[in-house]
């Protein structure tokens, strides 16, 4: 071996050691050690040299990228032997849908490998970090990585936030217009029903905030917030409805009026006398109606009906007793008008002692 990179390390009758510095691919091949004895003894070994891949580079990125445009990023590395492996990551999450290409270098010993990532630019990708990672056995588990931060430009995204979900007359409301875009949108423009704000004294715009004080029905309408940047413009609307104050009052409790049930019955106990009975059921006017409280009107009605039925029963029973007693007295008196005295009248009466057993009296 005649090379300045080759150095004799140890030489003895039992061992011969050499070292090779700055190893190159040309050092790959079969090495032979010979012992000049009789006969000569030899030992052979094949040396394999790994091609270390160059640091990868990402190409195809132009900054900034407009939203919706198609991006094709290529990661390439050369000089690997055997061919290196390339993987893509977006924010530490691996991207699988890529194209892989392997080509031999001019020396026909090493390889150039490349991987292409193809996707549509989206606003959610703005600020994302794309990483191209090269793995190879010569790197001792320390991969080589190339990174690219994405910059996506997009039109503003507009949203209106209200401070009052149920605005009433006399109250105030604050409408905040949130706009997000890249580049940062210019100051927003507030309009009402397609025109300028009608009352600048009550409708005050401070940056992205619209404040309306002392609301009334004339403030009803559609409020539009528009934001724009060099990429484009966007807008959103908010429909304001001012409600009457009394529509939001709590339901009032209605106190029922005095309830009176009156039942009048005329009862004739004798031929010349009448009497009346009146049953009145009243309800406390200070009592409130409740779901669990008794119905006083119903109770009063029931009491009145009971009183009425009781009085009717008393009247019917009294009339029956009066009619029966009168009949008895009449039967006793028959034949007594022509008698000179009481004894004769009793003897001449139809109800004499002969039929005394048939006479009956009832006492109540």
* Superfamily of 55-149 according to CATH: Immunoglobulins (2.60.40.10)
- Whole-prediction pTM value? 0.57
213-237 pLDDT, tens digit per residue, is 999 999 999 999 999 999 999 999 9
pLDDT confidence of residue 107: 87
All structural domains of the chain with their residue ranges:
4-45, 55-149, 153-238
- pLDDT, position 326: 53
Name the CATH superfamily, with its identifier, for domain 153-238.
Immunoglobulins (2.60.40.10)
Report the alpha-carbon angle 196-187-192, nearest 5. Answer: 20
- Residues in the chain with pLDDT values less than 70: 247-294, 324-362, 364
- Confidence at residue 121, expressed as pLDDT on a 0 to 100 scale: 93
pLDDT at res. 324: 60
Q: What is the pLDDT of residue 220?
A: 95
pLDDT for the residue 339: 58
């Amino acid at each position: 071996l005649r090379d300045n990179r080759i150095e004799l390390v140890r030489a003895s009758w039992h061992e011969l050691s050499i070292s090779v510095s700055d190893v190159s691919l040309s050092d790959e091949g079969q090495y032979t050690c010979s012992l000049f004895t009789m006969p000569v003894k030899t030992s052979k070994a094949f040396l394999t040299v790994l091609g270390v891949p160059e640091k990868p580079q990402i190409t195809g990125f132009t900054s900034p990228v407009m939203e919706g445009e198609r991006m094709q990023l290529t990661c390439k590395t050369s000089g690997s032997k055997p061919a290196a492996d390339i993987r893509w990551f977006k924010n530490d999450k691996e991207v699988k849908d890529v194209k892989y290409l392997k080509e031999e270098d001019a020396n026909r010993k090493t390889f150039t490998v490349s991987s292409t990532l193809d996707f549509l630019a989206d606003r959610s990708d703005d600020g994302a970090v794309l990483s191209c990672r090269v793995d190879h056995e010569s790197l001792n588990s320390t991969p080589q990585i190339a990174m690219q931060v994405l910059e996506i430009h997009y039109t503003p995204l507009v949203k209106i936030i209200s401070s009052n979900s149920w605005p009433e007359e006399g109250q105030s409301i604050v409408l905040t217009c949130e706009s997000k875009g890249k580049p940062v949108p210019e100051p927003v423009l507030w309009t009402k029903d397609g025109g300028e704000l009608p009352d600048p004294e009550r409708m005050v715009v401070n940056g992205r905030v619209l404040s309306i004080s002392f609301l009334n029905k004339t403030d009803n309408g559609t409020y539009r917030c528009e934001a724009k940047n060099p990429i484009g413009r966007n807008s959103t609307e908010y429909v304001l409805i001012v409600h009457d104050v009394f529509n939001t009052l709590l339901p009032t409790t209605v106190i029922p009026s005095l309830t009176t049930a009156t039942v009048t019955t005329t009862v004739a106990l004798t031929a010349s006398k009448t009497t009346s009975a009146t049953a009145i059921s009243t309800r406390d006017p200070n009592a409130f109606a409740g779901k669990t409280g008794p119905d006083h009107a119903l109770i009063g009605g029931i009491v009145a009906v009971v009183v009425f039925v009781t009085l009717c029963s008393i009247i019917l029973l009294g009339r029956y007793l009066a009619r029966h007693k009168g009949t008895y007295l009449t039967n006793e008196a028959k034949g007594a008008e022509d008698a000179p005295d009481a004894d004769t009248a009793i003897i001449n009466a139809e109800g004499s002692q002969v039929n005394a057993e048939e006479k009956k009296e009832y006492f109540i």
